[in-house]
Structure 1
Amino acid sequence: MKNVIFKVHGMHCDGCAQIVQSVLKRREGVQTCAVSFAQGTARVLFDPVRVDESQLQAAIEQAGYQVEPHRDASGTVA
């Protein structure tokens, strides 16, 4: 399993965070995710064999939000 944190721009309320979380949870290979409107982040634990970071980023972008390069749980830009 791999843990990444995406910086998500364009969320205006908790409802936006719920949309992002719903989009991510529907992706095959996503184990858990937590999206914070207040912090503007999405933390995702996923199976890199079944889904990769670019697919997760694309899912968020298709929902209408902008995504900065993500960081893994250690803070390293991936």
Structure 2
Amino acid sequence: MKTTIFKIDGMNCDGCAETIQSLIEKEPGVRMASVSFAERQARVLFDPQSVLEGRLVDLIEKPGFRVVARETAPAQ
């Protein structure tokens, strides 16, 4: 499993964060997604054998948001 933090531009409210979270959570291979409007980021735990990071970027950007950075979170 891998956790990646995606920094996101274009969120205007908690509803935006909920939209992104619901899109990511539906993707096979995603174990958990937490999207924060206040922090303007999505933290996603996923199986890199099942879903590629690029696919997650596509899901976030599909409704019109923009991923401006991403980083691998340290293992916990």
Q: TM-score category by the smaller chain? A: over 0.9
* Runs of 4+ with deviation above 4 angstroms: none
Matched residues, number: 74
Cα displacement string for residues 30-77 of structure 1 (whole angstroms, at most 9, x for unaligned residues): 000100000000000000000010000001111210002310103xxx
With normalisation by structure 1, the TM-score equals 0.91
Contact 1:23 1:63 in 2 (8 A): no
Match of 1:61 in 2: 61
**CA-to-aligned-CA distance 1:2-40 (integer Å, 9 cap, x gap):** 000000110000000000000100111000010000000
The normalised TM-score by structure 2 is 0.94
- Alignment check: 8 A CA contact 2:8 2:69 kept: no
User: Structure 1 regions of 5+ residues with no counterpart?
Assistant: none
